[in-house]
Amino acid sequence: MKLRRLLFLILFVLPVSVLAQDVYYPGNWGNWEKRSPEELGLNADKVEEAIQFAQENESDNPRSMEENHYGTFGREPLGDAIGPFKDRGDQTGI
């Protein structure tokens, strides 16, 4: 009898509780909350230093995503592109 109850719980109650959760969606671009490093308790000079380091050490891969694809994953079997590619933008420091 205990096995039946456990099986009922696993098969019916648990999936319903998982489906009852709200889906997180961050919203439109540009509407994100912004805070300064000081508001977060961070050293602003160190944050700027980290951003400069990231920008100076940008990836060596080509900015053309099509060229990058065929130079890497495109060499795999069935590695043909599906759809258009966008070019990679400037390094943001993130």
Asked whether residue 40 carries a pLDDT value surpassing 80, the answer given is yes
By the 8 A CB rule, do 5 and 11 touch? no
The structural domains of the chain, with segments of one domain joined by +, span: 37-86
% of the chain exceeding 70 in pLDDT: 90
Identify the residue with better confidence: 17 or 5.
Answer: 5
pLDDT at 73: 82
Q: What is the mean pLDDT of residues 51-75?
A: 88
DSSP characters over 50-83: HHHHHHHT---S-SBHHHHHHHTGGGSTT----S
Give residue 20's pLDDT band: very low, low, confident or very high (50, 70, 90): low
Q: Has this prediction a pTM greater than 0.95?
A: no
Distance CA 28, CA 30 (A): 6
Distance CA 83, CA 71 (A): 17
